[in-house]
Amino acid sequence: MNKRVSIIVPCYKQAHFLDETLQSVLNQTYANWECIIVNDGSPDNTEIVAKQWCSNDKRFKYLYKENGGLSSARNAGIKICDGDYILPLDADDIIDASFLTTLVPELNKDQSLAIVSCYSLFFDKNLDNIIYELKPKGNTHLNLLYANQLIATSLYRKKCWEAVSGYDESMKSGFEDWEFWLAITKRGWKYKIVDEFLFYYRKSKKSMLVDTIKNHSEKNREYIYTKHKELYIDDFDNCMRVLFYQLGTHRKSEMKIKNSIEYKIAKLICIPFKIFKK
List, for residues 29-84, the tens digit of each pLDDT value: 999 999 999 999 999 999 999 999 999 999 999 999 999 999 999 999 999 999 99
Going from the C-alpha of 258 to that of each of 215, 247, 255, 266, the distances in angstroms are 21, 17, 5, 10
Residue 231 counted as domain residue = no
Question: What are residue 256's phi and psi, to 5 degrees?
Answer: -65, -40
Residues in the chain, overall count = 278
Domain that holds residue 173: 5-215
266 and 192 within one domain:
no
Does 248 lie in the same domain as 171?
no
Q: Tell whether 31 and 137 lie within a shared domain.
A: yes
Give the pLDDT mean for 92-114: 97
The pLDDT of residue 210: 56
Q: Is the pLDDT of residue 276 over 90?
A: no
Instruction: Judge contact between 39 and 67, C-beta under 8 A.
Output: no
Question: Domain check: are 210 and 252 in the same one?
Answer: no
Spatial distance between the Cα atoms of 186 and 130, rounded to a whole number of angstroms: 34
The half-sphere exposure of 79 on its side-chain side, counting CA atoms within 13 A, is: 12
pTM: 0.87
H helices of 110-163, in order, are 158-163
| CATH number, domain containing residue 159 | 3.90.550.10
Q: Taking Cα atoms as reference points, which of 207, 210, 217, 215 lies closest to residue 178?
A: 217
Q: Are 91 and 11 in contact (CB under 8 A)?
A: yes
Lowest mean pLDDT among 20-24, 42-46, 132-136, 205-209: 205-209
* Cβ within 8 Å of residue 80, ≥6 positions away: 36, 61, 63
Whether 123 and 244 share a structural domain: no
pLDDT at 86: 98
pLDDT tier at 214 (50, 70, 90 boundaries)?
A: low
The number of domains in the chain is 2
Percent of the residues in the chain that have a pLDDT greater than 90, as a whole number? 78
Contact 101, 28 (CB under 8 A): yes
For 22, 58, 87, 271, the CA distances from 95, given in Å and listed in that order, are 9, 20, 11, 54
